[in-house]
Chains A and B, each alone.
Chain A
């Protein structure tokens, strides 16, 4: 029981960065913009957050720096994909390649430093519930932030006027434009939100998950998040489920080793990526259903005629 509780708690922690970045990408994709730059923005968030926290001594400053960096990176992308109506695939890839290079460059002097990262804060009363208390309510503060963000995004998309506008823009930008909605502005905001969340997710890695900076420390999480959004059929509730599923896959090799299972770590480290492909297979085999769920204008460059 003790063991199971610990595994579940570790699953939530491993799933949190995925949840954060995927929530941002979900909003972004709902506006019709596909940003393949998540990995690059996460890396920049991770390195900026780490450097800011290390030099200021404050984790909060680190978080703010990470979010601001993510937003700034995403605005570069927005300029290309929205204002210049460039190919979104290429622009997103450029963002990832640029972010990978820049983060390695900026962070090269900080490899090997370590800081006191976020620690667990138990929520009174709730954390006393058996199992669930430890798993959900005795975690670091950013885990709680991810819960709130998930609920907030779900509420925003389905229950608010802003969410309706977002979806309208994503489904049919022409019609939205004809109705007087500012398509480009909405998309910029969605992209910026995605950037901020990616920065926050990066900071989770460098300030909470493993409080240090190493090159390429995201290890493909930004890409997995893109698959997660497809997995969740663009719905926040399923995203939560999916993020923890992938979180479980990514700590499985630690669990198996703990159980005395002696298979090579490199083979077990493939698991999250294999699971991602299997998920894509399960969800994509019916193209009609995929089409039904995908925001209609996703990935299409759009410039209003006036």
Chain B
């Protein structure tokens, strides 16, 4: 009979083995699912995991999807380390995209190096502003941040829809709800010429490094860690929960806002309603899978970026619904949390026969 037994010390090995185990279990489940649907599982998994990144163009597309995930995840890492459950990266992202677009359409003809920084800054500020609402609601009005950030996500989405159907709508866009194409001076430069990969990926990698420095080397990172692990200890040490909450939220808003701005000024070049396929939500999985560590979230963002490409590939090659991406992501997070139990517990095999010998009448009654 299987039993969970508390480990005296959390397992450092399992902390890093758990994501790998979760991935293996997800792949096995995928294999079974393909079989169940009467498809060739080997071919299916190959289309999902390997075909999308088998050439330079594919790798560039991977980097393209990694950029927003990594930026959002870096900001969320700061929040989650302090146990602030900010689910609002999607909203920060959308507002960042909207903010950047509002500025970009003012400078369609302008020519100058200052246009792009201004556009990106607008995106960052919009993201920060959106996160500040949730921070203020949390610190001054004691509202649960999970619920407020989720609601703010829906409000941000409706703002964006309003903008592309109303004030930002391209009058010559054949009625499509989208903005005009931005001017060249508002567009991010390419990272690899000939591909769509832009310097947004560099922003993402920089953000991950910054998070690493913050938690490995800075006092404020230490304070965030303490407040996350033991709120009372942080209180005794005199760390200001209010100040740290604001900091975490603003960082989260800034990075996700930049991600949104990079998306509209990068691969898309205009504001469209479907600017995000759920990057802000997927980034949550990236943070958990990446163990809230810079290197971890870089690897995890690559894997989850691949799930977007793999979903598209399966749709094209095997005529399967694109929603396979969300299914894969959900399974992965599910397995991850299940495997994470092995960090704190180990599995023991117990023999019922031996147990029954030492059973006293009272425990026997309890068993029945």
Is B324 located at the chain interface by the 8 A CB criterion? yes
Q: Is the CB of A86 within 8 A of B337?
A: yes
User: Cβ of A266: which chain B residues have Cβ within 8 Å of it?
Assistant: 158-159, 161-162, 165-166
Is A280 located at the chain interface by the 8 A CB criterion? yes
Q: Is the CB of A97 within 8 A of B281?
A: yes
Is A98 located at the chain interface by the 8 A CB criterion? yes
The number of residues on chain B lying at the interface, defined by a beta carbon within 8 Å of a beta carbon of chain A, is: 48
User: Cβ of B322: which chain A residues have Cβ within 8 Å of it?
Assistant: 108
B309-337 CB mask vs A (1 if < 8 Å, else 0) is 00000000000011111111111011011
Bound CA–CA A220/B338 (angstroms): 26
Report which of A90, A227, A264, A277 forms a contact with B162, defined as CB distance below 8 A: A264
Which of B87, B165, B321, B324 is the most central at the interface, judged by chain A CB atoms within 10 Å of its CB? B321
Min distance, Cβ B19 to any Cβ of chain A, angstroms? 14
Interface residues of A in 243-289 (CB under 8 A from B): 264, 266-267, 269-270, 273-274, 276-277, 280-281, 284-287
Report which of A80, A108, A274 forms a contact with B337, defined as CB distance below 8 A: A80
Q: Is the CB of A285 within 8 A of B285?
A: no
**B residues at A contact (CB < 8 Å):** 4, 6, 85, 87, 137, 141-144, 146-148, 150-152, 154-155, 158-159, 161-162, 165-166, 281, 284-285, 288, 321-331, 333-334, 336-338, 340-341, 344-345, 366
**A residues at B contact (CB < 8 Å):** 36, 40, 76, 79-80, 83-87, 89-91, 93-95, 97-102, 104-105, 108-109, 180, 215, 219-220, 223-224, 226-227, 230, 264, 266-267, 269-270, 273-274, 276-277, 280-281, 284-287, 290, 303
User: Cβ of B151: which chain A residues have Cβ within 8 Å of it?
Assistant: 220, 223-224, 227, 273-274, 276-277
Bound CA–CA A80/B288 (angstroms): 15
Q: Is the CB of A97 within 8 A of B337?
A: no
What are 30 of the A-B contact pairs (CB < 8 Å)? A79-B338, A83-B4, A84-B337, A85-B344, A86-B338, A86-B341, A87-B337, A89-B85, A93-B333, A94-B333, A94-B336, A100-B326, A100-B330, A101-B328, A101-B331, A102-B327, A104-B321, A104-B326, A105-B321, A105-B324, A226-B147, A227-B147, A227-B151, A266-B158, A270-B155, A273-B154, A276-B151, A280-B147, A284-B141, A284-B143
**How many pairs of A and B residues are in contact by the CB < 8 Å rule?**
140
Q: Is the CB of B142 within 8 A of A264?
A: no
Q: Is the CB of A105 within 8 A of B137?
A: no
Known contacts A215-B323, A303-B6; 9 further A-B pairs (Cβ under 8 A): A36-B146, A84-B4, A93-B284, A98-B333, A220-B151, A267-B162, A277-B137, A277-B148, A284-B142
B160 (CB) vs chain A CBs: closest residue: A266
Judged by DSSP, the binding face of A is helix
A288 (CB) vs chain B CBs: closest residue: B142
Q: Is the CB of A270 within 8 A of B154?
A: yes
User: Cβ of A87: which chain B residues have Cβ within 8 Å of it?
Assistant: 337
User: Cβ of B158: which chain A residues have Cβ within 8 Å of it?
Assistant: 266-267, 269-270, 273
Q: Is the CB of B326 within 8 A of A86?
A: no
Q: Is the CB of B144 within 8 A of A280?
A: yes
Bound CA–CA A227/B154 (angstroms): 14
Bound CA–CA A264/B163 (angstroms): 10
Bound CA–CA A251/B133 (angstroms): 26
B341 (CB) vs chain A CBs: closest residue: A84
User: Cβ of B328: which chain A residues have Cβ within 8 Å of it?
Assistant: 101
User: Cβ of A223: which chain B residues have Cβ within 8 Å of it?
Assistant: 147, 150-151
User: Cβ of B326: which chain A residues have Cβ within 8 Å of it?
Assistant: 97, 100-102, 104-105
User: Cβ of B166: which chain A residues have Cβ within 8 Å of it?
Assistant: 264, 266
